[in-house]
Structure 1
Amino acid sequence: MKEKNWYAIYTKPRWEKKVSKLLTDRNVVTYCPLNRVKRKWSDRIKTVLVPLLPSYLFVYINTAERQTIRETPGVINFVYIEGRPAIVKDYEVVRIQRFLNEFENVELTAFHPRKNQRVMINQGLLVEEEGRVIDLRNNKVEVAIESLNYSLVALFDKSKLINH
């Protein structure tokens, strides 16, 4: 049996829970991160579960199961990075699960690197290396990685960096 990984899939708007149910019925392991949010109606306040990532869902599959996912009603496609379906690391899914179990009303904010900001690389050969943003160009970020009193300067896609 081939190795399974978590993949992110893109769904029709407001279909996250429906797609999760359809895939679960097909014995596919899914994770739809649900945020507990307090909503106010005229007569009461109620806690409701809303998808943390609108139109996104995670599936735990092997490569042979990709076509089954694509054929599921409500699924638009996999999320792609560099021309391939994006693999989400197990620890990232666990981190999201733990975070949502502990907190309510979670808000997502986009990461926008700034000059001189400290960042950590989260993909590729330099994974977990720290650096400092030198310059920003469109979707690319120039990062200096200082070690042994030398600066190794590399250009990274913004998606490969996290705030540090």
Structure 2
Amino acid sequence: MEKTNWYAVFTAFRTEKRVKERLEQAGIENYLPVREVEFERDGQVRRLEIPVISGCIFVHVPEMSLPSVLSILGVIALLRKERGPIVISDKQLDSLRMLCEHAETLEVVNEGLPGESVIGLLLPKK
């Protein structure tokens, strides 16, 4: 079986959720990190899920399958460097997932070291 990797693909403006549906219909594993926001309209509070990274969705495919990903309506391009598409490690993607899943429970801590400031993200103690 061919090794699969995670790749970032750019989507057309505000089409991330539709591209996600199309990728799923094509049987392509993907991840769209979203966050929930609240806003008030007409006196009612509404909730909406929006992408964490605007115009970007992650796909998990063998490199040979990238042309089929690029053929999906709404997919614009791959995140690339001069020699080809950038592979995103499983560890990096798992870290992004964890960050998105626990975003509401993260606490920003600003503790100064002698002569400088350090900002870190910590999960609350249980």
Q: Tell me if TM exceeds 0.5.
A: yes
Runs of at least 5 residues in structure 1 that lack an aligned partner in the other structure: 107-117, 119-164
Match of 2:49 in 1: 49
Q: What is the TM-score when the length of structure 2 is the normalising length?
A: 0.78
Moved over 6 A (4+): none
Higher RCO, Cα 8 Å, sep 6+: 2
Match of 1:19 in 2: 19
Residues 1:71 and 2:83 aligned together: no
Aligned amino acid, residue 82 of structure 2: E
Q: What is the TM-score when the length of structure 1 is the normalising length?
A: 0.61
- C-alpha distance in structure 1 between counterparts of 2:43 and 2:97, whole Å: 32
Q: 1:81 deviation in Å?
A: 1.9
Q: 1:58 deviation in Å?
A: 0.1
CA RMSD of aligned residues (A): 2.1
SS of 2:66's partner is helix
Higher helix share: 2
Match of 2:33 in 1: 33
Q: Between Structure 1 and Structure 2, whose CA radius of gyration is higher?
A: 1
Q: 1:103 deviation in Å?
A: 1.9
Match of 1:151 in 2: none
Match of 1:9 in 2: 9
Aligned amino acid, residue 39 of structure 1: F
Percent identity over the alignment is: 23
- C-alpha distance in structure 2 between counterparts of 1:69 and 1:100, whole Å: 24
